[in-house]
């Protein structure tokens, strides 16, 4: 089992604090997915819907 380490101040970082709830969930879910599957941060287009259940992935990822 892999781990994702987040700083205590992660949610209040200026880049993170401005995210919508859906974008925040997508970001954290992508971190976890990448760690679990040892992808070094790369997530394929076909895998993206498995990472987080967000209604509009493309719109959310652009935020």
Q: Where in the chain are the domains?
A: 10-62
pTM recorded for the entire structure: 0.76
Write the pLDDT tens digit of every residue in 6-51. 999 999 999 999 998 888 988 999 999 999 999 888 888 788 888 8
The answer to whether 22 and 28 have CB atoms below 8 angstroms apart is: no
> In the prediction, which pLDDT does 53 show?
73
Rounded Cα distance, 12 and 43, in Å? 25
Whether the CB-CB separation of 63 and 20 falls below 8 Å is answered with: yes
């Amino acid at each position: 089992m892999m781990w994702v380490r987040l700083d205590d101040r992660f949610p209040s970082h200026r880049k993170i604090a401005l995210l919508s709830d859906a974008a925040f969930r997508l970001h954290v879910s992508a971190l976890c997915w990448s760690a679990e599957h040892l992808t070094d941060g790369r997530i394929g287009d076909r895998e993206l819907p498995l990472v987080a259940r967000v209604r509009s992935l493309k719109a959310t990822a652009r935020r």
